[in-house]
């Protein structure tokens, strides 16, 4: 009986994915939502690879069958079967869509479950992702700009055609923007971006970003499109922006650390992150300004422990007014592009919705 397969483009449709590559391969990059349930672990894959080089494919297959046999084979099939029973529309893939995914399919079929594999495997899906990003670079893009604290990310997230670059990167794009949890690899970021762009077939709205978000690069072709794309600019009063910054960089950050690491360790890690972030901009602040903000930050941490997170505004306000705002205004002066619309958050959201509704279908 032939084993079913799907075109690699199907991987962008957000179906559950079983990645049967070895853990070391999975760690280098995988598709969004994929679960690593390997046919062989790293050591087994390494041994089979050596046998392949020394004696060819037949000998390598024979070694693999000896290494993954009996109870070990049964456990791996059971893991695939359990996943397939929870996700009947799951798809299997390996590196090239060849032997490993076919073996997994066959073993599952013998256990009474038939799942398709991705033709061409991870390599073909990677090519599809790259092609999707290139295609998106040729479509209309609208960029949402504005000073720090104008809730640009929330505006993008409110749109059907919004692409949350910072969300996919798990980083807010500034010295203070690192996410408490480990961010994706460059490949994982590109895969998530490609999958999101595949749904924005007529155009998209993104937040104004530099080429790098944390340690990740926006793919060059798409970033070049962003650089020359039309813009709208959100303008909000300082007190509104300050409250937004406190929610994003203090309240939400603290909840995330506390929920994942507990009260004591979470507090220590959050304080370390914010202190380190301030030190990263020390040279640009200058020694006197840095020391002043460092003292204010330390006082805010004490108040925070008493339940007063609003105390952080004492150091966040001068950081915005004396560092981030002047830096943004300088960049704005250097830009040759006029904004299509300048207004408050609600008016910019309405403009972006009208812009997306007018995209050619």
Model pLDDT, residue 24: 95
pLDDT at 13 > cutoff 80:
no
Q: Are residues 154 and 239 in the same domain?
A: yes
CATH label of the domain that carries residue 29: 3.40.250.10
In the numeric block, the tokens 């609003």 are attached to 310
Q: Are residues 160 and 113 in the same domain?
A: no
Average pLDDT over residues 42-59: 91
Q: At CA 18, angle to CA 12 and CA 22, rounded to 5?
A: 115
Residue 66 lies in a domain: yes
Q: Are residues 215 and 313 in the same domain?
A: yes
Q: At CA 58, angle to CA 55 and CA 64, rounded to 5?
A: 95
pLDDT at 1 > cutoff 80:
no
Name the range with the highest mean pLDDT among 24-38, 222-236, 331-345: 222-236
Q: Are residues 105 and 26 in the same domain?
A: yes
- Residue-wise pLDDT for 76-134, tens only, equals 999 999 999 999 999 999 998 888 999 999 999 999 999 999 999 989 988 988 999 99
- To the query of whether residue 94 is one of the catalytic residues in this protein, the response is yes
Q: Are residues 68 and 205 in the same domain?
A: no
pLDDT at 307 > cutoff 60:
yes
The whole-angstrom separation of Cα 80 and Cα 339 is: 52
Look at the chain and report how many structural domains it folds into: 2
Domain boundary among 126, 146, 173: 126
Greater pLDDT, 232 or 99: 232
Could you tell me which residues are beta bridge partners of residue 141? 204
- Residue-wise pLDDT for 349-360, tens only, equals 999 999 999 998
In the numeric block, the tokens 């200058």 are attached to 286
Residue 133 lies in a domain: no
Residue 101 lies in a domain: yes
Model pLDDT, residue 234: 97
In the structure encoding, which two tokens stand for residue 5, read together? 């397969």
Q: Are residues 326 and 187 in the same domain?
A: yes
Q: Are residues 99 and 187 in the same domain?
A: no
pLDDT at 254 > cutoff 70:
yes
Q: Are residues 115 and 197 in the same domain?
A: no
Average pLDDT over residues 312-341: 90
The whole-angstrom separation of Cα 85 and Cα 18 is: 12
Q: Are residues 89 and 154 in the same domain?
A: no
The whole-angstrom separation of Cα 62 and Cα 50 is: 13
Q: Supply the range of the domain harboring residue 291.
A: 138-357
Model pLDDT, residue 56: 87
Residue 106 lies in a domain: yes
Name the catalytic one among 94, 128, 150, 348. Answer: 94
Residue 208 lies in a domain: yes
The whole-angstrom separation of Cα 78 and Cα 108 is: 9
Q: Are residues 154 and 77 in the same domain?
A: no
Domain boundary among 84, 104, 126: 126
Q: Are residues 316 and 170 in the same domain?
A: yes
Model pLDDT, residue 214: 85
Provide, rounded to the nearest whole percent, the portion of the chain with pLDDT above 70: 98
Measure the CA dihedral 240/241/247/253, to 10°: 180
Residue 274 lies in a domain: yes
pLDDT at 182 > cutoff 70:
yes
Q: Are residues 118 and 150 in the same domain?
A: no
């Amino acid at each position: 009986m032939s084993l079913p397969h799907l075109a690699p483009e199907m991987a962008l449709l957000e179906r559950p994915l079983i990645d049967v590559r070895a853990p070391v391969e999975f760690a280098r990059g995988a598709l969004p939502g994929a679960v690593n349930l390997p046919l062989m672990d790293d050591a087994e894959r390494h041994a089979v690879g050596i046998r392949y080089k020394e004696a060819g494919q037949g000998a390598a297959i024979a070694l693999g069958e000896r290494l993954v046999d009996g109870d070990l084979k049964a456990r791996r099939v059971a893991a695939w079967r359990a996943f397939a029973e929870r996700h009947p529309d799951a798809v299997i893939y390996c590196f090239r869509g060849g032997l490993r995914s076919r073996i997994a399919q066959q073993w599952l079929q013998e256990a009474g479950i038939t799942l398709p594999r991705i033709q061409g495997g991870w390599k073909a899906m990677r090519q599809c992702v790259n092609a999707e990003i290139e295609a998106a670079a040729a479509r209309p893009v609208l960029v949402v700009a504005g000073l720090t604290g104008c809730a640009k990310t929330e505006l993008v997230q409110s749109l059907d055609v919004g692409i949350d670059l910072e969300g996919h990167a798990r980083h807010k794009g500034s010295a203070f923007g690192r996410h408490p949890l480990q961010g994706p690899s460059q490949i994982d970021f590109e895969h998530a971006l490609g999958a999101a762009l595949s749904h924005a077939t007529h155009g998209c709205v993104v937040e104004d970003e530099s080429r790098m978000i944390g340690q990740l690069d926006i793919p060059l072709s798409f970033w070049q499109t962003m650089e020359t794309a039309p813009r709208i600019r959100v303008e909000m009063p300082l007190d509104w922006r300050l409250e937004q910054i406190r929610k994003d960089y203090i309240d939400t950050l603290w909840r995330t650390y506390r929920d994942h690491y507990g009260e004591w360790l979470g507090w220590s890690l959050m304080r370390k992150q914010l202190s380190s972030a301030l030190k990263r901009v020390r040279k640009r602040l200058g020694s006197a300004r840095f020391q002043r903000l460092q003292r204010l930050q330390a006082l805010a941490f004490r108040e925070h422990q008493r339940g007063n997170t609003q105390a952080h505004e004492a150091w966040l306000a001068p950081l915005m007014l004396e560092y981030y705002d002047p830096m943004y205004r300088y960049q704005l002066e250097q830009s040759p592009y006029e904004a299509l619309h300048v207004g408050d958050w609600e008016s910019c959201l309405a403009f972006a919705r009208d812009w997306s509704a007018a995209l050619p279908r």
